[in-house]
Amino acid sequence: MPSKDWTVLDFEKPIAELDEQIAQIRRLTQEQGIDRSEEIAALERDRDRAIEEIFSKLTPWDRVLLARHPKRPYTLDYVRVIFDDYVELHGDRLYGDDHAMVGGIATLENRHVVFVGQQKGRDLKERQYRNFGMAKPDGYRKALRLMKLAEKFRRPVITFVDTPAADCSVDAEARGISESIARNMMDMSILGTPIISVILGEGGSGGAIGIAVADRVLMMENAIYSVIPPEGCAAILWRDPSKYKEMAAALRITSADALELGVVDEVIKEPLGGAHRSPEAAAQSVKSAILRHLEELEKIPIQKLVDARYKKFRSMGVFEDISKKKPHKEELSEPEAQEDQCEA
């Protein structure tokens, strides 16, 4: 039954129940040969209205659940729809091949591109194989190796971000997980080829930004982008892990927040009810957004592109400069705060 299905979120239950009713009538129609299409159409309208209503009231925590939805399309589900002739390439040439980070060469319409991204697993076995989408230094170094291939052969880079975090185990630390992420950000900032990153699901902290220093950063409507998972942040900052919902709101991790804060350039709308209800349509939306941005980026000379990329990340952050306050005639009057709010 849908209500006991662990792949259905609590707030999705009314939708799942209507889905089940529709499916049941369809089965009966087939078995009994009676036309009940009007009834089905009415139920489908009800269901779509329910989805719209539920999705108009989603809390930031609900978005977290959607970003981590067990049925959400993962990186390679997008790759299959978006690219043709994807040839996966393995290994960092230093230590090993990280299964949490995938990448290779592919074609996108009439272009050759390099693709890299984190890959999560669907079932328990695959999840372990993919290390829950948490890449180790080997993964970040593989990604950088492939991006440098792209630079060498003047092909654009597309990266897909979907990771709870980078791996922080003892062997990740021993091989320099910090260094690998830092190096990726540094080298991506001067990489001589266009880069587009798409936050597909979880944009988890350093694990995400380690492959997301791009000319254009796009974000799925129900993805999250955060410096720390809300559960961990509530435990650390408020010493109360039960306040993860409040923390999800306070951290401003939704796509709308990221857009407003100037951290992403565009939010890609998801199909009604989220990407998992129509993965094919979601992937087509991503594909057309990537193509649109690539067309713009390809017209820009490389040096200009790299300079603009620097300026883009350089201008992120909000602060004031009190040394720049205008000198006032009257000492008594409080100088006006000049907010140095930079936008990408």
Binding site for another protein (CB under 8 A): 166, 168-170, 172-179, 181-183, 185-187, 189-190, 205-206, 208-210, 212-213, 225-228, 232-233, 235-237, 250-253, 257-258, 261, 263, 309-310, 313-314, 316-324, 339
Nearest approach in angstroms of CB 301 to another protein is: 18
Nearest approach in angstroms of CB 43 to another protein is: 40
Tokens representing 33 are: 């040969």
Nearest approach in angstroms of CB 262 to another protein is: 9
Nearer to another protein, 108 or 198 (CB): 198
Nearer to another protein, 82 or 134 (CB): 134
Nearer to another protein, 33 or 301 (CB): 301
Coil, strand or helix at 45:
helix
What whole-number distance in Å separates Cα of residue 305 and Cα of residue 213?
Answer: 13
Nearer to another protein, 12 or 151 (CB): 151
**Residue 155 and residue 112 in contact, taking contact as beta carbons nearer than 8 Å:** yes
C-alpha 115: how far from chain center: 15
Of 160, 116, 132, the closest CA to residue 268 belongs to: 160
Coil, strand or helix at 267:
strand
Nearest approach in angstroms of CB 220 to another protein is: 15
What whole-number distance in Å separates Cα of residue 154 and Cα of residue 175?
Answer: 30
Nearer to another protein, 142 or 276 (CB): 142
Nearest approach in angstroms of CB 37 to another protein is: 47
What whole-number distance in Å separates Cα of residue 168 and Cα of residue 178?
Answer: 9
Nearest approach in angstroms of CB 124 to another protein is: 18
Q: Specify the DSSP element, H or E, that contains 114.
A: strand 111-118
Nearer to another protein, 50 or 261 (CB): 261
Of 275, 277, 272, the closest CA to residue 53 belongs to: 272
